[in-house]
Amino acid sequence: MIRTINPSNGELLAEYPAMTAADIEHVLLKTGDAASRWKQCSVGERAGFMNRLAGLLREQNSTHAEMISREMGKPLSQAVAEVEKCAWVCEYYAEHAESFLQPETVDVDGLTGLVTFEPLGVVLGVMPWNFPFWQVFRFASAVMMAGNGIVVKHAPNVTGSAIAIEQLFREAGFPEHLYRTLHIDLEDVNELVGAVIDHPVVKAVSVTGSTGAGIAVASKAGRALKPSVLELGGNDPYIVLEDADLRQAASVCIAARLLNAGQSCIAAKRFLVHASVKKEFEDILVADFSARRMGDPFDPDVTVGPIARRDLRDELHKQVEISRNMGATVLCGGEVPPEKGFFYPPTVVTDVRPGMPVYSEETFGPVATVIGFSDDDEAVSIANDSPYGLGSAVFSADTERARSIAARLEAGNCFINAMVKSDPRLPFGGVKQSGYGRELSSYGLREFVNVKTVYTG
């Protein structure tokens, strides 16, 4: 059985039966049949289903948001915003997929070359718990508008959300079995997910999750010669220059660190602050972090919910403790509270050096690391001193200076005077151990198509 636990109090929410290998085989064959019919539908027909799906997401927003908050703990207002964003990405691809999939003509010495974009078939999505609706819809809306079918292996601790998402596709009228969820117990995950990747029905894989999970899945997909897209971890640097509007920069940085209790691959994690304003920046962070209300995500005054699982909370605290023992200074937070649930207070750590966990590792929770620098070159060097390369940000009154720094950062995204976030209109993804491939915009839609050349002589 798959068990889901309420992270706010540690109590059992529900139990769900896990699928057997035979169950999964049945689902894959059915989804393969549905995908073969779906690819024959026009893009306009697909858009009609996708727009109905967007409408249902908005109509049922409160119900789904409550499920998200119960299962993984984010404040309800943030869960509501997550469901709304899912409706937006569905509408975006319903509107733009036809133009993204238009064949391109190429003049070849006076003759015609035609480039077409055809669906692959069934795509496996391995999805995480931190944005249990958004991560799925960010992936699924593009993949399905391109004409593919989908099977999803969702995180076990958000199984209720996984079931609700599959039901939404059914209610919107999509062909039966075109979108299916594979309920796999943690004990069987390596064996069964490997078998799914190897299955002839599955043509490609998309993973959003940890670097370890990405390596495991991509290795299996590579051996099967199947394409993959990986959106993995991050240790995002936010560079605050001495000419930045410090209050505004700090406000953005705080939001970027504490949204979803810091449980996001693109959350701000390392704050690189010019030495001349570092102390003032730290004071602003400590005052805000210390005033944050932590607790029940259904309390409208709460801005920081629990960590999604006990083991994740304990690992986060271990990273802080090891760093403290190595000489880092904890300015606020840094202690496990006595309350029920998997809470961890907003924490600011300074006097950080290379080799400390809070410097080199991804901290998946509300822990802000502050590191000083003396000039732009040093800032870039520290920012790039990481195996990750997902998001980054630069704060400066001089846009050209900020763009010059952005061009030197090893990251898939750089936002200037703003927090990193995914947007349907912009490609999203990373480099180095943060993964490869892109989601969203036209780039995301074309990741899972056969780019076919048709030449007429």
Q: Does an H or E element contain 259, and which?
A: none
List the alpha helices (DSSP H) in 241-309: 246-258, 278-291
C-beta separation of 73 from 263 below 8 A: no
Q: Does an H or E element contain 207, and which?
A: strand 202-208
Between CA 223 and CA 205 the distance in angstroms is 13
C-beta separation of 184 from 193 below 8 A: yes
- Amino acid at position 83, single letter: V
Q: Which of 71, 231, 439, 447 is catalytic?
A: 231
- Distance (Å) of CA 445 to CA 8, 186, 411, 425: 37, 30, 21, 11
Q: Which residues on neighbouring strands pair with residue 371, listed in sequence order?
A: 272
Q: Which residues contact 270 (CB under 8 A, 6 or more apart)?
A: 235, 236, 237, 238, 359, 369, 371, 382, 383, 386
Residue 280 appears among annotated catalytic residues? no
C-beta separation of 43 from 95 below 8 A: no
Between CA 214 and CA 434 the distance in angstroms is 9
Angle between helices 76-100 and 134-145 (to 10 degrees): 10
HSE-CB of 210 using CA atoms within 13 angstroms:
10
Q: What is the DSSP letter of 323?
A: H
- Distance (Å) of CA 20 to CA 1, 17, 187, 328, 409: 11, 9, 12, 48, 45
Between CA 152 and CA 125 the distance in angstroms is 5
C-beta separation of 207 from 214 below 8 A: yes
Q: Which residues contact 276 (CB under 8 A, 6 or more apart)?
A: 242
Which pairing describes strands 111-119 and 104-108: parallel, antiparallel, or unpaired? antiparallel
188-194 contact pairs (CB < 8 A, 24+): 188/18, 189/153, 190/216, 192/19, 192/21, 192/24, 193/126, 193/153, 193/217, 193/220, 194/220
> Active-site positions?
231
